[in-house]
Amino acid sequence: MNDDAHALDRSAVRRAFDRAAPRYDDAADLQREAADELLERLAPVRVTPRTVVDLGCGTGYATRALQKMYRGADVLGVDFAPGMARRAHGSWRPGRRPLAVCADVTRLPLGDASADVLFSNLTFQWVSDLPGLFTELRRVLRPDGVLMFSSFGPDTLAELRAAWAAVDDRVHVHTFPDMHDVGDALLAAGFTDPVMDVDRLRREYGDLRALMRALKGIGASNATVDRKRGLRGRRALERVADAYASLTPDGRPLASWELVYGHAWGASTPRAGRGDAAEFHVPLESIGRMPGRSGDARSRQGRSE
């Protein structure tokens, strides 16, 4: 994930989401579905927060739902794309706290141990340095606070990745972290009792161009450091389309999405400042459930749409 070819250009990621902001809600069906699932998982967790932070809030869909869920809490939306933060800020009803700020989730403008709930829907895959990200989140999370998140797993867009590989050896589709690597990074940063599971979906698109337009609509452009600049030729796209058709059943334009869901708890002793966490690794299969906390490790696979 962190080799030079697959590293992400954070400035390019920010520009892509900024451009997508005006039309994002029209294209973000999968993102809303994942947010609803994540909110449903959060609802039974026993926590009475004073401060809730929606990391990578986009246009504010989940932020508004969190405000309804925790009416007595301060709910803050954070997004590093200015266009997204502006739309989230402007989407609140009169009389409600219009709290949405433009900031990077890896450098949050929040004090140590200042949040009770950290919520993030499909944002972490845009951060190359997961250990650094989770160290920052542990710094912000209060002892016994909860981190609830979703992300894309490595099987996401596997067909598109393979189709491009038949054309050239450049990186065209991001490499997403494995569920077990995410769990290891959480433990290394000092989080406790992580619970992870995965949901696999396949969705059909009109053709390859429709899929690529859908990705552009949600800001999911190729932002790897090694990406090819400039326009791609028609012949190259035709070759990708031909290769893509050979990789799906009956040549139908299907795309795989691997959704990783997880939650973890803050350590009993918060991490102060921005120092590096001591590193250690525990197999995810060996992680048990703490008494009185909901959820268990499981894997749900094979759902199709």
Whole-number pLDDT of residue 279? 30
Whole-number pLDDT of residue 96? 59
Residue that is written with structure tokens 């579905």 in the block: 33
The residue type of 254 is: L
Residue that is written with structure tokens 């390859």 in the block: 208
Which two tokens mark 203? Answer: 């969705």
Termini Cα distance of the chain: 29
Whole-number pLDDT of residue 58? 92
Whole-number pLDDT of residue 92? 58
C-alpha pair distances (Å), 119 with each of 105, 106, 174, 187, 199:
11, 14, 23, 18, 18
Whole-number pLDDT of residue 227? 47
C-alpha pair distances (Å), 171 with each of 69, 71, 161, 245, 258:
41, 44, 8, 20, 19
The strands making up 74-79's β-sheet, listed across from edge to edge, are 100-102, 74-79, 51-55, 115-121, 141-152, 254-265, 192-204
SS3 content of the chain, % helix, strand, coil (to 5): 35, 20, 45
- Taking alpha carbons only, the member of 257, 300, 253 closest to residue 33 is 257
Q: What are the domain boundaries of the chain?
A: 10-155+176-203+258-269
CATH for 10-155+176-203+258-269 (3.40.50.2000, 3.40.50.150, 3.10.129.10, 3.40.50.10140) = 3.40.50.150
Taking only the tens place, the pLDDT of each residue in 40-69 is 999 999 999 999 999 999 999 999 999 999
Predicted TM-score of the model (pTM)? 0.79
Whole-number pLDDT of residue 242? 84
Q: Which residues of the chain, if any, have pLDDT below 50?
A: 1-3, 5, 222-223, 225, 227, 229-231, 273-305
DSSP assigned state of 247: T
Question: What does the alpha-carbon distance between residue 168 and residue 41 come to, in Å, rounded to a whole number?
Answer: 41
Taking only the tens place, the pLDDT of each residue in 86-119 is 888 776 555 555 578 999 999 999 999 999 999 9
